Structure 1
């Protein structure tokens, strides 16, 4: 019995210390939750969890205390029944009678004074336990108040967690959009990188093309200088050509005038030729008539047909000159046709 009281006392002291430590830890966690949790996102999750864990521990300890109190009450009722008072099993049926034990007899019971002392000690322990129980109940009420405050805080933290979740979703959506934009930018950067990798070859080709263009530019510059010199020469030639055109126009006008004069001369020539032909015919007729008249005058009556009837010493003279229908010279034709021959030769 004494050992049970000592164990009960030790258990009560341990439970009291445990309740004090747990209550202090809960107060510290409720008063300073930010000092023990570094991440602000995990704080709303860890604080209610630690609070519920502490409350579960306190409920288990209170159940163990109640069980101990019941056990002590049972022991107290047994001691009171041993003093002649009514046992708690008075109305219950009696247990079956055991047979007489065999062997040595049980040890004698202790003296009533010893039991009285133990009972006094037990009463004092019970008073202490009642005081401790009252303190525990007060602590429990305080813890319940703290639990209600914690529940309110938990509700507020749940709302905060919902808000944080929505903000987190929006932030994640923004991060996803940024990631997609970064992927697009990365693809563009890859394309730009490929273009930059291809730039040295392009630069070399441009340099070669630049050299070729420089050579072509030099040749074009020379051609331009040559063309400028030719343009200057062309200006001189243009002036000379203008002068030549003016001279040509003057010559054309003179040629036209000469052609007109030649046409007039041709007309005059035709008329003169016609008049000359008619004059030649008339001259031939006159010569024939003249020959006939001379033959008549110089003829002899007994001469016969083979005698010459003419007085000319040359035989068989032509009746007119042999240069008929042949263009006569200037000296033969005389000064009348010299100007006509000059214009006709110029027209040819």
Structure 2
């Protein structure tokens, strides 16, 4: 009962609502319960004025808080817009970074693929390098050989230059050699003609000697026949005695000696031959004066001066 006439203070009214929120609805004491208390006696006017003053102060305070909340809301909206813009910028930056990273990743992947291809082709490159090294060595050897050839060519060129300098002397020597050749040729032609004449004379002499040799052979055969007739045994038992004491007596007992050709050998006395006799030796020739005459068989035949009367027999 005592609480019915109690009027809540402004502090109690502020505690009944949430801080920073505007109060909506009827004021306290003006709700449906006010109809139940309408039968109660009204408060005095001072209390009402105080209550109105307190409510007016609260309204002003709530209005100020409302203004502050509106300003705070506006600031927060601005900050939200700025944050959204920042988020968009961050998203764009992240997208660009992602795109750039994708590009870099692709570049790196391409480089890795190229490196792998290079590694796979490393063996081929190694073989090419070895081949190039061999070619370089062969080129070095060829260069050295060419250097030696160039040196030889330089020496030959120097020698050729020296020969060119000595060319007038060589021409003079060549002219002298030509003159000497002409002189020797003329001498040769002259001697050739004289030699031809001598050869013809020698051929004629050779023919004469061959004829003489044939005559000598004939004479030798006649002499051998005469010797055989002279050495034949006499039917009267006595040996044949030549009237010339220069002939030796016949050999008693066996036959005459023969040479290597089966021809009889007759012992001749030492001394000059008698008239009408032709001394002979046991060789293959007839002694005609002590000079050797070649026979037809190439055997030396002793002979003297040629007697033309022998060719007429």
When the two structures are superposed, what TM-score results if normalisation uses the length of structure 1?
0.39
Higher helix share: 1
**TM-score, with structure 2 as normaliser:** 0.42
Which structure ranks higher in relative contact order (CA pairs < 8 Å, sequence separation ≥ 6)?
Answer: 1
